Structure 1
Amino acid sequence: MFLAVLTLGGCTSSVEGVALPEPSVPRQPQLPARTKDLPLQGVDPCTLLTPAQLDQLHENGAPRRLAEDVQRDGPTCAFDVDATTPTYTYYLETIPSADVRDWLTGAHHRSVMVQEPADVPGFPALVNHAASGEGVQDCEVLVGVADGQTLRAEMAPDDGSFPQQQLCAMATTVAKMAVETLETVK
């Protein structure tokens, strides 16, 4: 009887006649082209959801603008849903200085993030969240509303009540609503 043992120690070698699989390289999502520009200069993120949209989202307080020292990339507004459990917050952020593709290949890119296209008709949009098991439970949708300008919609729960897919669906809904509002004021 012939017994062979093969040990791989981080190296690759080729054996004549044996095909080795190509190393897997994560593919970047393909984003659609933008059909129109919706510049963000001077836009208050707290005005991007209408009263009817806030009712639909069950937002139960006044939208609150975050202080500059806790913002990430631009003016940010928080919309709380905390009248009943589970409680969570939606965030809308206007980023006038970074293109949505910056999250794919630029300074905002993080290799630990899962990225896939988001469905925001007429705009390049990206779902961006930590991989399962990373301990962070939230999801953001980044929408390229104009050249070099991005709208960020995020859903952040106060506990682990939501599966990742639902968090991302909720963030996508808020992104779509904010874009709809932005289209009516531009």
Structure 2
Amino acid sequence: MLVFGGVLTLALAGCTTDTGGQAFPDEPALASATRDAKASALPTRPAELSLQGVDPCALLAAPQLDQLKINSKPRAAAEPIDGPTCVFDSDAVEPFHTYYVRTITADVEEWITGKRRKNSMTTEPKAIGGFPAVTNYRDAGKPGDCETLVGVARGQTLAARAITVTAGAFTMPQLCEMSAQAADMALQTLKARN
């Protein structure tokens, strides 16, 4: 009987009860376990690629700009987001879209388990060029943007965000694929520099 009671106690350890005695999952515990599982799914970084002194506008070369259909000169963002930010526009032919490439002083895991995590955002662990990465997007409403964040070094993250300018032109999977492609291209340039 003691063994059965111990098993029952373990089975209910992740549950809470309301006044009627009905067991419900403990949501904060489940959310924390999910975040920890996502963080553990990130691959180990194969190298340390410093972003110190890197101009994000120099991370996409001319052939890469052509692949991304960028037609205007890359420019520094008027209001940088978390660090140096470069804007790449595709506004010659519809559908119009923009990329923001930025360098951030933070570990990529912070978007899953740390202070940069937001309940309103969906985060998915992945690998970009063998490096730990996170896809970060808002899953509600019309698709507007998706960001891929790559942990290139301890405490340093390279981010590429794809934004639709022409409303309704892209699905969320398309925007996330676009951001992943831009992040991979910027990562290849960063690897070649190191």
**TM-score between the two structures when normalised by the length of structure 1:** 0.84
Other structure's SS at 1:119 match:
strand
Percent identical pairs in the alignment equals 46
Written as runs of structure 1 = structure 2, the 5 A alignment for 1:78-157 is: 78-95=87-104, 97-133=105-141, 137-157=144-164
Q: Give distance in 1, aligned partners of 2:20 and 2:123.
A: 32
Q: Give distance in 1, aligned partners of 2:184 and 2:143.
A: 23
Q: Give distance in 2, aligned partners of 1:77 and 1:132.
A: 27
Match of residue 66, structure 1, among 77, 80, 93: 77
The Cα of 1:161 is off from its aligned counterpart by 1.1
Instruction: Say whether the 8 Å CA contact 1:144–1:151 is kept in structure 2.
Output: yes
Q: Is 2:86 the counterpart of 1:77? A: yes
Instruction: Say whether the 8 Å CA contact 1:36–1:122 is kept in structure 2.
Output: no
Bigger proportion of residues as helix: 2
Q: Give distance in 2, aligned partners of 1:39 and 1:178.
A: 13
Root-mean-square deviation over aligned CA pairs: 1.8
Bigger proportion of residues as strand: 2
The Cα of 1:98 is off from its aligned counterpart by 0.8
**Cα deviations by residue, 1:8-49 (Å, 9 ceiling, x for unpaired):** xx936446xxxx564563412221110001100000000001
The Cα of 1:136 is off from its aligned counterpart by 6.2
Q: Give distance in 1, aligned partners of 2:148 and 2:95.
A: 21
**Cα deviations by residue, 1:87-136 (Å, 9 ceiling, x for unpaired):** 010110011x2111111122211111101023303211000001222x56
**TM-score between the two structures when normalised by the length of structure 2:** 0.81
Aligned residues between the structures:
169
Partner AA of 2:140 in structure 1: S
Structure 2 counterpart of 1:44: 55
Partner AA of 2:173 in structure 1: Q
Other structure's SS at 1:61 match:
coil
Partner AA of 1:150 in structure 2: T
**Cα deviations by residue, 1:35-68 (Å, 9 ceiling, x for unpaired):** 001100000000001111111111101001113x
Structure 1 12/140 Cα, relative in aligned 2: closer, same or farther at 3 Å?
farther
Question: Mind listing any 5+ residue stretches in structure 1 that lack a counterpart?
Answer: 1-9
Instruction: Say whether the 8 Å CA contact 1:118–1:141 is kept in structure 2.
Output: no
Partner AA of 1:155 in structure 2: A
Other structure's SS at 1:126 match:
strand
Partner AA of 1:162 in structure 2: F
Q: Give distance in 2, aligned partners of 1:140 and 1:46.
A: 17
